């Protein structure tokens, strides 16, 4: 196993329900260390840039509108196989299909309002981390 970083976003549905601490506890219980974290608001244009790989999808406009509708918490998680580990504890994109005990199963409201985002590969993690953070903000 190798130590990796991955980008996590706690989404507007979760910040609105005041459950960021409950979600962070899941990361820490799984052995992932939060080495950077900030609560921010992004514009629709910034959301469009972040999610540009989905620009051809039917849900793209709605997703970007939603991600700019309220505060988000962007964070960098560090740990062994952090990309896969985070995807495992997040669960499937659609909370209805997510395994029992996963973040999305327990906290997600719908396929769009699914509480958290996590990078899907080490390569995308590097790109996504650089989108929100500079090197000096990562404190392991």
Which parts of this chain interact with ligand CMP (CB under 6 A)? 54, 59, 63, 93, 111-112, 114, 117
State which residue, 13 or 36, has the beta carbon closest to ligand CMP. 13
- The answer to whether 97 touches 83, Cβ cutoff 8 Å, is no
- The answer to whether 74 touches 7, Cβ cutoff 8 Å, is yes
| DSSP codes joined into one string, 9-27 | EE-HHHHHTT-HHHHHHHH
CB of 35 to ligand CMP, least distance (A): 20
Whole-Å CA distances, 10 to 47, 73, 74: 14, 5, 6
Which residues participate in catalysis according to the annotation? 117
CB of 136 to ligand CMP, least distance (A): 26
CB of 90 to ligand CMP, least distance (A): 8
State which residue, 88 or 139, has the beta carbon closest to ligand CMP. 88
Cβ density class 86-108: b for 16+ within 10 Å, e for less: bbebbbbeebeebeeebbbbbbb
State which residue, 4 or 139, has the beta carbon closest to ligand CMP. 4
Output the six-digit token pair for 34: 């939060």
């Amino acid at each position: 196993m190798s130590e990796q970083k991955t980008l996590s976003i706690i989404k507007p549905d979760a910040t609105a329900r005041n459950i960021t601490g409950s979600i962070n506890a899941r990361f820490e219980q799984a052995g992932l260390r939060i080495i950077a974290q900030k609560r921010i608001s992004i514009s629709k244009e910034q959301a469009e840039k972040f999610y540009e790989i989905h620009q051809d999808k039917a849900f793209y406009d709605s997703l970007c509108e939603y991600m700019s509708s309220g505060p988000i918490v962007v964070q960098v998680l560090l740990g062994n196989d952090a990309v896969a580990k985070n995807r495992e504890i997040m669960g499937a994109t659609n909370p209805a299909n997510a395994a029992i005990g996963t973040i999305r199963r327990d906290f997600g409201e719908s396929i769009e309002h699914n509480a958290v985002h996590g990078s899907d590969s080490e390569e995308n993690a590097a790109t996504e981390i650089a989108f929100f953070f500079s090197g000096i903000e990562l404190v392991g």
